Structure 1
Amino acid sequence: MATEKAGAVSEPTLITSVQRALHLLEAVGRHPGGAPAKQLARAAGLPLPTAYHLLRTLTYEGYLSREGGVFVLGEAVERLGGAGARARQRAEVGAALARLGDEVGVAVYFSVYREGEVEVVAIADRPESPAVEEWADFRSTAHAHAIGQCLLAQLDERDREDHLSRYPVQALTPYSVRNASDLRRRLAARDRSQPVIERQEYVLGTVCGAFPVAAGDTAASLAISVPVGEAERLRPAMESLRSRVPHAISSLSFSISI
Structure 2
Amino acid sequence: MNNSRLRLPSVLAALVLLLVSSFSVRADEGAAFLRDLHEFRVNNFMALSNYYRYSATNDAAAEAAIKELMGEATRNLQAVSESGANVLTADQVASLRSEFGTFSELMAQNVSDVTEIGYPDLRLVGEMANQAVTLSNVAQELYAQARDSSQTPVKPEVETARSASVLMAQMLSRYAARSYSPVTQTFQGASGLAPLDEQARELDKLIGEFVTSTGQGNLRGTAVEIKTKWGFIRDSYINYNKQNVVFVIERYSRSILEELNAAVSSLQNA
Report the TM-score, using the length of structure 2 for normalisation.
Answer: 0.26
Higher strand proportion: 1
Higher helix share: 2
Larger Rg: 1
* Alignment TM-score, normalising by the size of structure 1: 0.27
